[in-house]
A and B are shown apart, each in its own frame.
Chain A
Amino acid sequence: MQAPAQDPRVTTGEPTRSRTWRWTAVTGVALLLLVTIHMVAHHFVVEAVGGLRTYQHVLDYIANPVIFVLESIFLVVVTIHAMLGLRSVLFDFGLSDRHKQLVSKGLVALGVVTVAYGFVLIGVLASRA
């Protein structure tokens, strides 16, 4: 029996919607946990109005390695989910194939910039602690 000329799992060009739907769902479910941790840790355990930390408290908090890793994961996952969600809304505008590719590339770029900025932010703050 001859092997297939091309691995059927390899896709060419634009990913099908099936992967984006799946990744939106998976990141979304992960966020249920991550957002809960983030909200509780930031706003529901601090004894302050609105549960907000002072400057020094923020620095001490983000310098904690466990917290740093968790916030990093949260940042990446939330950005992926947000970009995929935006893609879904924008694609419902009945775009041409070319415009869809532009939108996809644009959102990837926006996502990368967002994550990069977030890492810079928490990196600088952690280093100040």
Chain B
Amino acid sequence: MSAQDQVPATAQETRRVRVHRFKRDDGPAHVDEHEVPVGARTTVLEALRWIQLHDDATLALRHSCFHASCGTCGVRVNGRERLACVTPLADVGSGTVTVEPIANLPVLNDLVVDMTPFVDRFPEAHAIVRDSEFLPEADVPEDLGRFMRFEDCIECGLCLSACPVSATDDSYVGPAALAFAQRMLEEDPGTVDRDALLDWADQDNAAWRCHAAFECTEACPSNVRPAQRIMALRKDLRRRRRDQGRTVPEIASEDGA
């Protein structure tokens, strides 16, 4: 799909779009304004691409799939976290639209953030990677049902951007990492060290740092509901503490001590 196709030829009106601009070797950030021709269904991403192609070729932004599946195009539109590819400008009122990069991550360039600190927050537990069962030569496990999972999180970083605790302090692991941990425990694919994962979650800056603002759930475009998962993780932690409390006397009595 070329850029010219993205803006309707019959576009009558324009919208003022203010875009955060920042180049590392070029001084402090500033805001540029553009009058972008829009149609009834023009998305934020289409508007940004129009700016890139017709107004200012130096605008840097990320996008890929155009359908909220890859999580690449996360930005803040008028202060709220959105995926640019599926956010119609019509949904953002009728006045000026301000587009900024997502918060709480280092900004490399205009709307592009460094996702490395986001990924680094995740615990070590890995889901298993296997051959697709649709390939003729696939080595498919017998109990395939256990290995099927419906992956919600697209790792877009909108939750981290929306979280007030993450805005306050970088050491909080954040909603995405905690939601991932809880999902590993829930799915229990048999390849995860549950105790190690719960130990990771039971830290100063993990499950107990959340202040129940629920901004992550509000921002999530993919039905992960990180806040609810964090609360479920707390339930798991409490259950484990209760079980550990019962285990020790049993071990002691078996030993004859």
Contacts and interface: CB of A to CB of B under 8 A. Distances in A.
Contact of B248 (A7, A14, A17): A7
Interface string A9-28: 10000101110110000000
A9 B245 contact: yes
Contacts of A4: 248, 251
Given A8-B244, A16-B208, A21-B208, A1 B255 contact: yes
Nearest to A20: B208
A92 interface: yes
Contact of B208 (A1, A14, A17, A94): A17
A4 B241 CA distance: 16
B204 interface: yes
Contacts of A20: 208
A93 B168 CA distance: 7
B165 A3 contact: no
A2 interface: yes
B169 A3 contact: no
Given A3-B252, A92-B165, A18 B245 contact: no
B58 interface: no
B255 A2 contact: yes
Of the listed residues A1, A4, A8, A17, the one surrounded by the most CB atoms of chain B closer than 10 A to its CB is A17
A97 to B, nearest CB: 9
A126 B24 CA distance: 68
Nearest to B172: A92
B251 A1 contact: yes
B251 A17 contact: no
A21 B233 CA distance: 14
Classify chain B: how many residues form its interface, as a range. Answer: 20 to 34
Of the listed residues A3, A7, A93, the one surrounded by the most CB atoms of chain B closer than 10 A to its CB is A3
A9 B248 contact: yes
Contact of A94 (B169, B202, B252): B169
Interface majority SS (helix, strand, loop, mixed), chain A: loop
Nearest to B256: A3
A16 B245 contact: no
Contact of B170 (A2, A3, A18, A94): A94
Contacts of A17: 203-205, 208-209
B53 to A, nearest CB: 41
B244 A9 contact: yes
B208 to A, nearest CB: 4
A16 B248 CA distance: 20
A92 B244 contact: no
A46 B195 CA distance: 56
A92 B171 CA distance: 9
Contacts of B251: 1, 3-4
B203 A92 contact: no
B131 interface: no
Given A3-B257, A17-B204, A18-B202, 6 more contacts: A1-B254, A3-B255, A4-B251, A7-B248, A8-B244, A17-B209
19 contacts: A1-B251, A1-B255, A3-B251, A3-B252, A3-B255, A4-B248, A7-B248, A9-B245, A16-B202, A16-B208, A17-B204, A17-B205, A17-B208, A17-B209, A18-B202, A18-B207, A92-B168, A94-B168, A94-B171
Interface of B: 165, 168-171, 202-205, 207-209, 237, 241, 244-245, 247-248, 251-252, 254-255, 257
Closest 7 CB pairs of A and B: A17-B208, A3-B255, A94-B169, A21-B208, A92-B168, A17-B204, A18-B208
